[in-house]
């Protein structure tokens, strides 16, 4: 068997980062370059392990961009196999996602398990409905499971029998949109190695997505990282895509770094400076000491306790200085505080906590978990403005107040999504 494939994830098409059309184009370019590479190398298939799109309700130009790029793979006869990530699932109430649309229109093969009363099913690809749990290309079988958030390990457990039943001589790839615990940059319920190792006998290659950083585990679990910097925290992370060659039973793995727009990040403590003009001078000195690539994104984080009013510091002026140095997208963050601001913020949180505590105290059934309850509400309140997914909310509830003794009825979470 001689097969070659590309494995990408977290392409995030349609992301108009910092409100910039250039960034929208960057995400498209990054994807287009991988497609060029795939066509030049004449690979046998192309995997997208979730988050092709940046959001569920994409706009027309994103659809035009996506189909224009995917069409090139189609015309080159390279099948694309994909799963949905947390960013591109269907909106609640909608039966179909834009990923379903791409699948129905023949651009991709969208895979997922089918959740039925009797359990989790892996159905073969159905050309008429353009859906299925797995697809076969030559001696390779590709199985796909979409993002299930905190229930991923449960779904994996339930699909184990199906994986066992399918196991034969074919090289088996399992696509998942899930992070592994020790590679996650934040404390969110990821998969443990022991959970994946339970299916080791049935799977030869786990094609992960979700975490925007490249990692490989045990020679069989692979995460490419996103193609572009999705936020400034990711600057400096290794990212890219995999070019995999299957030669007989040997795996030749090549991780290729994606080209990204240069992204500079500088912290500057301005706490000791007494006037706005002193700060401007300090910024200019910093910029003179740096090599600033043309057309870059520059994030300048100013921090410290200000000795004058915040409004005296003109962010637009600082941004202008950055633009003069060739920066395309200047980002100036004022993480400064004055003494009075700090006190107000602390006081507000204290007041909120005590009000919540009084409210919860009225319900005697929560008396034993009073503090956990209050902390959970505070956590929820913090993430709600960021438009969290149902799974993210569930995971806060699970960590906060549901704990282990509570048995979560996972079926309930899927009940409204069955179709």
For the chain, what is the largest distance between any 2 Cα atoms, rounded to a whole number of angstroms? 72
CB of 210 to Mn ion, least distance (A): 6
CB of 10 to Mn ion, least distance (A): 4
| Cβ nearer to Mn ion, comparing 51 with 162 | 51
Beta pairing, strands 109-110 & 80-83: parallel
| Cβ nearer to Mn ion, comparing 263 with 298 | 263
Q: How far is CA 27 from CA 24, 50, 86, 120, 231, in A?
A: 6, 15, 18, 35, 12
CB of 13 to Mn ion, least distance (A): 11
CB of 87 to Mn ion, least distance (A): 6
3-state secondary structure of 176: strand
| Cβ nearer to Mn ion, comparing 10 with 392 | 10
Burial state string for 266-292 with b = 16 or more CB within 10 A and e = fewer than 16: eebebeebeebeebbebbeeebeeeee
3-state secondary structure of 352: helix
CB of 14 to Mn ion, least distance (A): 12
| Cβ nearer to Mn ion, comparing 185 with 236 | 185
3-state secondary structure of 33: helix
| Cβ nearer to Mn ion, comparing 10 with 299 | 10
CB atoms under 10 Å from CB of 156, counted, come to 22
Please say whether the beta carbons of 51 and 87 come within 8 A.
Answer: yes
| Cβ nearer to Mn ion, comparing 30 with 279 | 30
Name every residue whose Cβ is closer than 8 Å to that of residue 315 and which is 6 or more positions away in sequence. Answer: 332, 334
| Cβ nearer to Mn ion, comparing 162 with 228 | 228
CB of 205 to Mn ion, least distance (A): 20
| Cβ nearer to Mn ion, comparing 10 with 44 | 10
CA-based nearest residue to 22, from 321, 287, 260? 260
> In whole angstroms, what is the distance from residue 386 CA to residue 401 CA?
21
| Cβ nearer to Mn ion, comparing 178 with 283 | 178
CB of 149 to Mn ion, least distance (A): 13
Q: Which two tokens stand for residue 404?
A: 């282990």
> In whole angstroms, what is the distance from residue 89 CA to residue 155 CA?
17
Residues at the contact surface with Mn ion, assessed by CB under 5 A: 10, 51
Beta pairing, strands 80-83 & 45-49: parallel
CB of 66 to Mn ion, least distance (A): 15
User: In this structure, is the dihedral angle defined by the CA atoms of residues 223, 229, 234 and 236, taken in order, positive or negative?
Assistant: positive
Q: Which two tokens stand for residue 209?
A: 């997505």
| Cβ nearer to Mn ion, comparing 10 with 29 | 10
Q: Which two tokens stand for residue 64?
A: 């035009």
| Cβ nearer to Mn ion, comparing 51 with 299 | 51
> In whole angstroms, what is the distance from residue 116 CA to residue 284 CA?
63
Q: How far is CA 6 from CA 142, 198, 245, in A?
A: 13, 26, 9
Residue with tokens 């509830």, as numbered in its chain: 397
CB of 132 to Mn ion, least distance (A): 24
CA-based nearest residue to 252, from 201, 202, 213, 205? 205
CB of 84 to Mn ion, least distance (A): 11
CA-based nearest residue to 172, from 181, 158, 157, 162? 162
CB of 230 to Mn ion, least distance (A): 7
């Amino acid at each position: 068997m001689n097969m070659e494939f590309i494995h990408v994830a977290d392409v995030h098409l349609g992301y108009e980062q910092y409100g910039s059309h250039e960034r929208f184009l960057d995400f498209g370019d990054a994807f287009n370059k991988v497609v060029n590479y795939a066509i030049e190398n004449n690979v046998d298939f192309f995997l997208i392990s979730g988050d092709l799109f940046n959001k569920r309700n994409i706009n027309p130009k994103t659809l035009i961009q996506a189909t224009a790029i995917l069409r090139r793979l189609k015309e080159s006869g390279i099948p694309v196999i994909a799963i949905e990530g947390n960013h591109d699932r269907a909106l609640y109430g909608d039966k179909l996602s834009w990923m379903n649309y791409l699948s129905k229109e023949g651009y991709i093969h969208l895979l997922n398990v089918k959740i039925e009363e009797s359990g989790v099913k892996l159905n073969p690809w159905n050309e008429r409905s353009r859906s299925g749990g797995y697809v076969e290309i030559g001696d390779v079988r590709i199985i796909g499971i979409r993002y299930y958030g905190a229930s991923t390990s449960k779904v994996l457990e339930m699909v184990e029998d199906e994986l066992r039943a399918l196991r034969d001589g074919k090289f088996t790839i399992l696509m998942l949109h899930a992070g592994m615990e020790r590679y996650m940059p934040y404390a969110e319920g990821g998969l443990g190695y022991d959970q994946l190792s339970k299916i080791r006998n049935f799977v030869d290659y786990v094609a992960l997505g979700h975490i925007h950083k490249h990692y490989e585990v045990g020679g069989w679990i692979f995460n490419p990282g996103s193609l572009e910097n999705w936020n400034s925290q990711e600057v400096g992370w290794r990212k890219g895509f995999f070019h995999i060659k299957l030669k007989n039973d040997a795996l030749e793995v090549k991780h290729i770094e994606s080209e990204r727009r240069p992204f500079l990040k500088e912290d500057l403590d301005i706490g000791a400076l007494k006037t706005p003009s002193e700060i401007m001078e300090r910024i200019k000195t910093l910029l003179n000491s740096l090599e600033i690539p043309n057309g870059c994104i520059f994030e300048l984080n100013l921090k410290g306790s200000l000795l004058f009013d915040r409004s005296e510091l003109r962010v637009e002026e600082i941004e202008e200085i950055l633009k003069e140095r060739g920066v395309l997208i200047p980002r100036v963050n004022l993480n400064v505080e004055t003494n009075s601001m700090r006190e107000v913020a602390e006081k507000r949180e204290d007041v909120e906590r005590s009000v919540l505590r009084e409210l919860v105290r009225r319900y005697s059934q929560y008396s034993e978990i009073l503090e956990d309850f209050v902390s959970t509400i505070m956590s929820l309140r913090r993430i709600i403005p960021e438009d969290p997914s149902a799974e993210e909310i569930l995971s806060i509830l699970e960590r906060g107040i549901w704990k282990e003794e509570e048995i979560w009825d996972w079926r309930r979470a899927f009940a409204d999504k069955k179709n």
